[in-house]
Amino acid sequence: GLVLSMTNENASENANVKAYIAAFVKLWDKLMCDGDCAGEMQKTFYSNCCIKRAAELLNSKKMRKHVNKLFKNVWSLYFEEPSPKRVVDQYLSMFEPATFCGDKTGVYKYFNKQCDQAIGA
């Protein structure tokens, strides 16, 4: 009874979180990667080299490990079910638009190249 309903409820929460993140990633893709608007979005939200460096730090292997650990710990406070896999990776990927958008647009890659040249990387 109670344990089974808690397990089903947790499994449902797990699926809800996965669905929410998937929908958010899809929305972000539409907002940031659309060929008609990507240039304007780059100028508005990804407009200086400090933002690029912060995104790279956020997506570093070490930081991903720490954020994943934090997510799992917080998740376990509320649910018995293991946390959804790859949710943190999907979420963090949105903050590096050059990689996130891939071949849909080149504006972020061009901007990254300009930053790298400016700092001599």
Q: Which two tokens stand for residue 44?
A: 């508005």
Torsions phi, psi for 16 (to 5 deg): -65, -45
Torsions phi, psi for 17 (to 5 deg): -65, -45
Identify residue 11 by its one-letter amino acid code: A
Nearest to 32 by CA among 44, 50, 14: 44
Report, as an integer, the average pLDDT of 36-49. Answer: 91
Q: Which two tokens stand for residue 99?
A: 């990689």
Q: Which two tokens stand for residue 25?
A: 């990633």
Tens digit of each residue's pLDDT (9 = 90 or more) over 60-81: 999 999 999 999 999 888 887 8
- Could you give the percent of the chain with pLDDT greater than 90? 51
Query: What's the CA gap between 61 and 65, in Å, rounded?
Result: 6
pLDDT bucket at 6, cuts 50 / 70 / 90: very low
Q: Which two tokens stand for residue 41?
A: 């979005």
Report, as an integer, the average pLDDT of 3-20. Answer: 64
Query: What's the CA gap between 15 and 42, in Å, rounded?
Result: 32
